Structure 1
Amino acid sequence: MTGELAGLRVAVTRSRDRAGALADALAAAGAEPVLVPLIDFEVGDNHLLGASLNRLRAGEYAWLVISSITTVRALKQWCEAEGTVLAELVPPGTRVATIGPTSVAVLAAEGIHAELAPVDVQSAAGLVALWPGFPADDGGPDRGGNARVLLPQSNLAEPTLADGLAAKGWTPETVTAYRTVDYPADPAFRLTAALAHSRPEPGSGSYPLLTPAEAAGEVRAGAVNAVVLASGSAARRVAATLSPLPESCLVVAIGQPTRAEAERLGLRIAATAEHPTPAGIVAALAAAVQQSTPSTTGEMK
């Protein structure tokens, strides 16, 4: 796909330590990524989280649901502070579910096998659609009557998972694993745990880093051609700090929930990634560029 985004200056709304894979994928397609970190993450209430994780370790839950890669980082940071590792949190009788193949790979690198994850609709709604009713008749550990499901998540998490599991007869228990905050996070509480699945990004440190005010100026001047929204939280911050975006600035959402939140805020979405991965975002942006390119007749395609 090299060259299909040539000449496009793309704002990536992530901090440098989280933007490497996406920025590199954009650069490989010919774009010029600029980093505009708008949100960051801090640890949640470690006392409450620790109590839930100790119950998990004791085998009190039939399922553990990991609803984001940031959740994995939060749990790993708690484990590092406690002198343990993620794999030791999940006893043999507890099943693990997550929201897509990328999260499955991230968990596998940490020694955790996730046996349930949507492939097509990689979201909370997609996972709920796959979730079995309770009691399950598949020979799983929940046959004994354990309907408890642990959901460590963001303080801003929508109730989609909890409500969906409850509707299927399960007993979801939510706990705040991390808090989503405006960038930058307080250094004393920032999530810093590195995932085993992560790889060094040799080029990621060379991308320009803009403050929201600097980015807003460049957007207004037409110097930023596209903005990538990697979450609903990022959409809210873009609406608050970069709007109004000119019609020529293509906005790409990482998935349908992010698109819905962006549109609720009045942002015009040019494309939505079919899969919430760097390759999926690049493909969506390439399609948006092609759609917006004037044809030989002078009309928009």
Structure 2
Amino acid sequence: MAGVATGRTAGVRRRPLVLTRQPAQAGAVEADLAAAGLDVRFCPLTDFELSGEPGPLRAVVARVEAGECAWLVLTSPNTVRALQAAGWTGGVGGSTKVAVTGAGTARVLAELGCTAEPWMPEQASAAGILADFPSVEPAGRCAADAAMMADGADVAGDAGDRSVPQGADADVAVPQGAVPQGVDADVSDPHEAPASLVLLPQSALATGELTSGLEAKGWHVARVEAYRTVPYPADPLRRLLPEPQGGADHAGELDRRGDTAGPAPGAGSARTARPGHGAARPGHGAARASHGAARASHDAARPGHRAARTGHDAPVGEMAEAGAVVVPVAGLAGHDVVLTSPSAARELATHHGLDDERVRLTSRLVAIGRPTAAEARRLGLELSAVAQTPDAEGILRALGHGLSLQEAGGTAEVDGEYAEPGPLRDALVAAILAGEKTATSALLRDYEAAQEPLPRAGTRERVLDSAGQVAAVVEVTGVTVVPLGRVPHWHVVAEGEGHRDVRAWRAAHEEFWGGALPDETEVVLIQLTRIA
């Protein structure tokens, strides 16, 4: 690896960080991200509605308060909110115990005033519950209960490191073709044995994995639909989360700050990029060209889809809690976007805001956890990284925040040399360091001649200066191939070389590439963000 230039790690321009949920769901994750110096914003993609029939949830409340079950298992903060809407005030009777997936659910439970100290698994997920949950003894009693509750006190104390993002179920990922389960048992049946009965209110999207796993351990599970995940916004009469509190007109604030317009004028990158960014993406240009048509046909298959979503992009100010900034999908250009659940990935993948190529190519997508990542990739979303833990630390690590130049260089896959050593390269590298260069371009034929794959989202590159030292580390956020005659103006601005229009940009590039080129010449447009 090349040497590292010193004194050049300061002044990295951090992009706004957008979480795909509502301000009302904010908790420790958002607070920790803000404490790390990030500009945290929200893009609500999903909402939550109470189930149509309240009877089963009310029966759950009655049994919990009367102590007529062994366990109440809560897999998300929204499950607690749904029980509260059904009349639960947190009372737990008899010897009933309460299990929660993680600290986020425990926090909402405590805010409700629950009288029982919850137990949490070591791993904040449905799989964690199954791994740590005891089995039922033949007599219907659980010998491990006492030990579990003793462990639970310690787990509750440090569960912030394993917290689940607010509003996300631990097991909401529905495998393709799977049918969500309904009520697995009659919770109101007086003949169910309380000593072996587990009450499991869940999202309608939850799979039957937790139910079958607990039953395999000998428990009798009564599963009840607690709420449903729907596209934002939910029906006001059935909405689970509290109504947003009106504050400042954040839509106007975004317009004034230019945050909905993508990269700021002057943001750009080098004129040329040497092949060797990352893994191959065969047919990428053709795939991009057909993207709009594919999306149009998708929307046609879902009548009313776009009309139902237009409200998502309009009342930005009305959607914000006090002090929160809400960004529409159409305004995500130049932002780092954290997908917080598989359902959020599904909504983003079909949102008309992604018809804007600038949004697709300049936003950097990070998924929390493997289920969300798998769903995003299945839907064709290009992820830059996956946060391995559902907390601020995991998100920051995935984004590469806080890395020194040397540390970031160690995560990069290739070296990038912009133009030949000399004044031009010095100017281009200086523009990258100044945050004025967030794009570059190259001829597709150069990649083909070198038999090098095109760059891909998430690829990190060590930027070398004229002395061969690592001056910066950048990450690719998006790549597309277009005819030279159709290079968009926003990309010209992003290259940051001061060209007043596309014609001036083309003249300068053709001179660098060796002479005039026909309009149909294929050009690779690469969007970048500086990591260190």
Give the letter for the 2:399 counterpart: L
Give the letter for the 1:85 counterpart: T
Deviation at 1:150, TM superposition (A): 0.5
Deviation at 1:247, TM superposition (A): 5.6
1:209-224 alignment, distance < 5 Å: 209-211=326-328, 215-216=329-330, 218-219=331-332, 223-224=333-334
Give the letter for the 1:49 counterpart: L
Deviation at 1:24, TM superposition (A): 4.5
**Greater Cα offset, 231-240 or 270-279:** 270-279
Within 2, Cα distance between the matches of 1:33 and 1:168?
42
Match in the other structure for 2:383? 269
Match in the other structure for 1:59? 67
Paired residue secondary structure (2:135): coil
Q: Given the alignment, which residue of 152, 155, 167 partners 2:201?
A: 152
2:372 counterpart of 1:258: yes
Kept in 2, the 8 Å contact 1:39–1:183? The answer is yes
Do the aligned partners of residues 164 and 30 (structure 1) sit closer, same or farther apart at CA in structure 2, a change above 3 Å counting? same
**Greater Cα offset, 252-261 or 24-33:** 24-33
Q: Given the alignment, which residue of 226, 230, 251 partners 2:336?
A: 226
**Greater Cα offset, 238-247 or 54-63:** 238-247
Do the aligned partners of residues 103 and 284 (structure 1) sit closer, same or farther apart at CA in structure 2, a change above 3 Å counting? farther
Deviation at 1:234, TM superposition (A): 0.8
Paired residue secondary structure (2:128): helix
Match in the other structure for 2:461? 294
2:295 counterpart of 1:181: no
| Greater RCO structure (CA 8 Å; 6+ sep) | 1
**Greater Cα offset, 268-277 or 57-66:** 268-277
1:124-143 alignment, distance < 5 Å: 124-135=126-137, 136-138=142-144
2:36 counterpart of 1:32: no
Aligned residues: percent identity?
38
Paired residue secondary structure (1:294): strand
Within 1, Cα distance between the matches of 2:344 and 2:206?
13
Do the aligned partners of residues 5 and 11 (structure 1) sit closer, same or farther apart at CA in structure 2, a change above 3 Å counting? farther
2:205 counterpart of 1:205: no
Match in the other structure for 2:19? 12
Give the letter for the 1:34 counterpart: R
- Listed one character per residue, the Cα deviations across residues 225-284 of structure 1 (whole Å, up to 9, x for unaligned) are 321111111111111115577465332222232223223323333333343234443343
Give the letter for the 2:116 counterpart: H
Q: Which has the larger radius of gyration?
A: 2
Paired residue secondary structure (1:261): helix
Match in the other structure for 2:55? 47
Within 2, Cα distance between the matches of 1:23 and 1:145?
39
Deviation at 1:114, TM superposition (A): 4.3
Do the aligned partners of residues 272 and 112 (structure 1) sit closer, same or farther apart at CA in structure 2, a change above 3 Å counting? farther
Deviation at 1:186, TM superposition (A): 1.1
Deviation at 1:62, TM superposition (A): 0.8
Unaligned runs of 5+ in 2: 1-9, 147-192, 244-319, 412-458, 465-469, 476-532
Displaced runs of 4 or more, over 6 A: 298-301
Deviation at 1:300, TM superposition (A): 6.7
**Greater Cα offset, 4-13 or 166-175:** 4-13
Deviation at 1:104, TM superposition (A): 2.9
Deviation at 1:189, TM superposition (A): 1.2
The alignment's TM-score, normalised by the length of structure 2, stands at 0.46
Q: Given the alignment, which residue of 95, 110, 121 partners 1:108?
A: 110
**Cα RMSD, aligned residues only:** 3.2
Within 1, Cα distance between the matches of 2:321 and 2:31?
7
Unaligned runs of 5+ in 1: 195-202
Kept in 1, the 8 Å contact 2:89–2:114? The answer is no
**Greater Cα offset, 62-71 or 185-194:** 185-194
Paired residue secondary structure (1:146): helix
- Listed one character per residue, the Cα deviations across residues 1-43 of structure 1 (whole Å, up to 9, x for unaligned) are xx99842122221123224654454444333333211111111
**Greater Cα offset, 66-75 or 274-283:** 274-283
Match in the other structure for 2:443? none
Kept in 1, the 8 Å contact 2:42–2:324? The answer is yes
Kept in 1, the 8 Å contact 2:70–2:194? The answer is no
Match in the other structure for 2:96? 94
Kept in 2, the 8 Å contact 1:41–1:178? The answer is yes
The alignment's TM-score, normalised by the length of structure 1, stands at 0.77
Paired residue secondary structure (2:461): coil
Within 2, Cα distance between the matches of 1:277 and 1:14?
15
Within 2, Cα distance between the matches of 1:43 and 1:209?
24
Kept in 2, the 8 Å contact 1:5–1:30? The answer is no
Paired residue secondary structure (1:235): helix
Match in the other structure for 1:197? none
Give the letter for the 2:239 counterpart: R
2:93 counterpart of 1:85: no
1:274-289 alignment, distance < 5 Å: 274-286=388-400
